Amino acid sequence: MSNFPLPIEMLEKSIGYEFKNKNLIKMALTHSSYAYEQKSHKINCECNERLEFLGDSVLSLVVSEYLFEKFSQKAEGELTKTRASLVCTRSLSSFANKIQLGSYLYLGKGEEATGRTNVKILENAFEALLAAIYIDSSSKDVVSKFLIPIVEAEIKAAGTDAIYDYKTTLQQFIQALGNDRIQYACVNEEGPDHDKTFEVEVKINSNVVGRGKGKTKREAEQSAAKEALALFDVK
């Protein structure tokens, strides 16, 4: 018998917020595969897709407000790139993993094998959780209290790369030169599954112009793009 999902009370303790409406948090944790199975047994059950829709907007607002205040000297374009890097699927699934969100998900039998580590499922559940907190508390500030420390930890861990999108800058530079094609390829992986280091090459046409390493492929790609920009002396 599966030990999952873990009790909701454990998640509430982890995120530092106790729900008044327990149905909201359960809905946020319910994947469509589980809801479908329940309905096939004539049990009314709503999945987290509607909450995910709202959570996407709540996430964008809270992160945008934080970046606007934190980086007061940065231009709109830079803030937009930074926000995009923080709300992308890999970042959100990383945020979800920090609170072990996958362990609390209600999944259908077909998703049990891989669903708790599926980055898209984790991203959607994290956004749904933000929406559930927002609705239950009627306060954006309560969402911020939970979310911003996670965002700040991500920026600190990634350093400059979290607030500067080297891949986008390289893409724009190459496009301005003509129709050259950029490709990223993972050329090496080291370490156990829970602590891997990835090495990525970036090529323009068939020429390697940069290499980078990182704890995720996204980090490694950013590092490779950074090296390529240095090669072309692009600031």
Is 56 annotated as catalytic?
yes
* CA atoms of 209 and 107, how far apart (whole Å): 43
Q: Which amino acid is it at 188?
A: N
* Secondary structure, 3-state, 93-160: HHHHHHCCHHHHCECCCCCCCCHHHCHHHHHHHHHHHHHHHHHHHCCHHHHHHHHHHHHHHHHHHHHH
Side-by-side strand order, sheet with 197-204: 182-190, 197-204, 207-214
Is 136 annotated as catalytic?
no
* CA atoms of 128 and 25, how far apart (whole Å): 9
The distance of Cα 55 from the centroid of its chain, to the nearest Å, equals: 13
Residue 154's Cβ-count burial label (10 Å; 0-12, 13-18, 19+) is middle
Closest by alpha carbon to 62, among 73, 70, 51, 50? 70
CA distances from 188 to 40, 80, 209 (A): 45, 31, 17
- Rounded to a whole number, what is the distance in angstroms from the first to the last CA of the chain? 56
Judge if the upstream peptide bond of residue 192 is cis by omega within 30 degrees of 0. no
In the block, tokens 């390289």 appear at: 170
The catalytic position among 127, 136, 165, 201 is 127
The catalytic position among 37, 52, 56, 165 is 56
Which residues have a catalytic role annotated? Answer: 56, 127
